[in-house]
Amino acid sequence: MEQLTTQLKSLGLGEYESLVYGVLLSASPASATFIAKKCSLSRSSVYTTLSSLIAKGLVGTTYKNNVKQFTVQDQTALEQLLKKEKEALDKKFKLVESLKDTAKFFGRSDMQIPQIIFFEGQEGLKKIYLSMMRQAPKNSTRYLLRDEFVWQSEWEFVFKQDWNDTVKRWAAEKKMKTKLLVNSSKLEKSKAKFYQSQKAFEYRFLPIQNAIQQFAQYIMGDTIAIMSMEKNNFVGIQITNKHLADNFKNNFDTLWKASSAK
Q: Could you read off the pLDDT of 147-176 as tens digits, one per residue?
A: 999 998 888 888 888 888 999 899 999 999
Question: pLDDT tens-digit profile of 168-222?
Answer: 899 999 999 999 999 999 999 999 999 999 989 999 999 999 999 999 999 999 9
Structural domain including 188 reads 109-258
Residue 92 within a domain:
no
Do β-strands 141-146 and 215-220 pair in parallel, antiparallel, or remain unpaired? antiparallel
Q: What is the pLDDT of residue 138?
A: 92
103 lies in some domain: no
* CATH number of domain containing 25: 1.10.10.10
Q: How many domains does the chain have?
A: 2
| Residue 57 φ/ψ region, left for φ over 0, alpha for ψ in the -120 to 50 degree band, beta for the rest | left
Mean pLDDT for the stretch of residues 115-140: 89
Q: Tell whether 145 is covered by a domain.
A: yes
Q: Is the peptide bond before 137 cis (omega within 30 degrees of 0)?
A: no
pLDDT of residue 102: 63
Q: Are residues 116 and 239 in the same domain?
A: yes
- Asked whether the predicted pLDDT for residue 255 surpasses 80, the reply is yes
Phi/psi-derived region of residue 249, left when phi > 0, alpha when psi is between -120 and 50, beta in every other case: alpha
Indicate if 146 and 66 belong to the same structural domain. Answer: no
Residues 155 and 220 in one domain: yes
Tell me, what's the pLDDT at 57?
A: 87
